Structure 1
Amino acid sequence: MLQIGSNLANDVFDYLRGAESKERLGPLRVTQAGLLTPKEVQMGMWITFALAALVGTYLFIVAGWLILLIGLTAILAAIAYTGPISDKGLGDIFVFLYFGVAAVVGTYYVQALTTTPAAWWMSIPIGLLIVNILVVNNLRDIDVDKAANKITLAVRMGVSITRKEYVLLLAISYLILPILAWMSIIPTWTLAVWLSLPFAWKVTKIVLNESGRPLNAALAGTGKIALIYSLLFFVGIVLAVFF
């Protein structure tokens, strides 16, 4: 729900500040397309955050103050993302913290009421893979954002370095696994994640060779990489229980 609320905030606030135009390269946005008014989208945003707060209240009762702290700061970060966070090129850091560390470690903590080294370590590759979704998004929009004076990290670094950032984050996500397995932090079976490498390379070639609207395919593909990576890691955990 926080993700939905963040998307709605991004939708309406980008529109209000003039960062959206008919030249938009990404998927349809309801405010820019005139399907909903800014007031309606803002209402949806607040309703979504309110529902997230209700769920967070339950999790707070179950798991304590740590979850409440994560939830409240996540809501504030989601609202601020479109403005000061993304404009200062800090979006990548906040996505890593909340979709990597907070998501993985927080989920583990809610269920176990404790954390483990494996939970902390595995929040790194998951976070980096989710950051790469933002990297592709900002790479695609680099010219549009520059024209709208939206200074994302991609705008600051330029096309070439942003592409290298994508490759670096992807490489770390895969190379960290054998190191953690060698350190006995995660089971060796979790190296099943490497079965997704051919697909990851296919998506990476799009990132390295395309620009503009064709990068929408890489955007969707990067999301699939994160999903497949996570599912294969889960399969590895299950196999380690039985073998």
Structure 2
Amino acid sequence: MSQLLKLNIWFEGSRPKTIPAAIVPVIVGTASVETGLTLHRFVLALVVSIALQVGVNYANDYSDGIRGTDQDRIGPRRLVGSGLVNANQVKLAAGISFLIAAIAGLVLAIMTSLWLILIGCVAILAAWFYTGGSRPYGYSGYGEVSVFVFFGLVATVGSSYVQSQTIESISILVACR
């Protein structure tokens, strides 16, 4: 298999169509701030959000793949379920994505407020246990709630917070719309 084909398989496995769901709340949260843009904080927030999205996509692929829930899937192929990539490699890719999110988030926390470390840890755990672990909550009614909380409230309000260092009511309002 050529390097280009391998790269394309990994790119498609990252589920690029989901990336706008990670980008939009960061843009909206940042735009809701009246104090102006601090570009490096905006970029770091984007890195955190995109890396979490890619990480949860790989983690979902891994967990569903080892459970066999993706074998009869209709739609885009999954890396593990289709046998394209070894499950441990996909698990490693999820871990690397979460590590990238953690590093960017740690830098943001050092620049703004250390309580963001707790939020980041909870976000990574929520991303993994969405379909991972012995009792994944993504298969119950909590999956949609988690998406709203983390890619709605947390991403939008958090992006606003790293700019203004206050939780502004407008950011909560736009996160809920």
Could you say which TM-score interval applies, normalised by the shorter chain?
Answer: 0.5 to 0.7
- The residue type equivalent to 2:116 in the other structure is I
Q: Do 2:66 and 2:80's aligned partners in 1 also have CA atoms closer than 8 Å? A: no
2: CA distance, partners of 1:54 / 1:47: 10
SS in 2 for 1:55: helix
| Cα shift at 1:62 | 1.1
Highest relative contact order (Cα 8 Å, sep 6+), 1 or 2?
A: 2
TM-score by length of 2: 0.67
- Which residues of 2 match residues 49-88 of structure 1 at below 5 A? 49-83=98-132, 84-88=136-140
Over the aligned positions, Cα root-mean-square deviation in angstroms equals 1.1
- The residue type equivalent to 1:14 in the other structure is D
- The residue type equivalent to 1:3 in the other structure is Q
2: CA distance, partners of 1:88 / 1:115: 31
1:19 and 2:19 correspond: no
Q: Which residue of 2 aligns with 1:116?
A: 168
Aligned counterpart in structure 1 of residue 153 of structure 2, from 101, 110, 118: 101
1: CA distance, partners of 2:68 / 2:82: 13
2: CA distance, partners of 1:109 / 1:92: 24
2: CA distance, partners of 1:36 / 1:7: 14
2: CA distance, partners of 1:26 / 1:93: 24
Q: Do 2:80 and 2:86's aligned partners in 1 also have CA atoms closer than 8 Å? A: yes
Q: Do 2:66 and 2:81's aligned partners in 1 also have CA atoms closer than 8 Å? A: no
1:6 and 2:56 correspond: yes
| Cα shift at 1:68 | 1.3
The alignment covers a number of residue pairs equal to 124
Q: Which residue of 1 aligns with 2:17?
A: none
1:36 and 2:85 correspond: yes
| Cα shift at 1:15 | 0.9
Higher helix share: 1
Q: Which runs of 4+ in 1 moved over 6 A?
A: none
Percent identity, aligned pairs only, is 40
Q: Do 2:123 and 2:150's aligned partners in 1 also have CA atoms closer than 8 Å? A: yes
Q: Which residue of 1 aligns with 2:95?
A: 46
Which structure has the greater CA radius of gyration? 1
- The residue type equivalent to 2:98 in the other structure is F
2: CA distance, partners of 1:104 / 1:96: 10
| Cα shift at 1:65 | 2.5
1: CA distance, partners of 2:67 / 2:83: 15
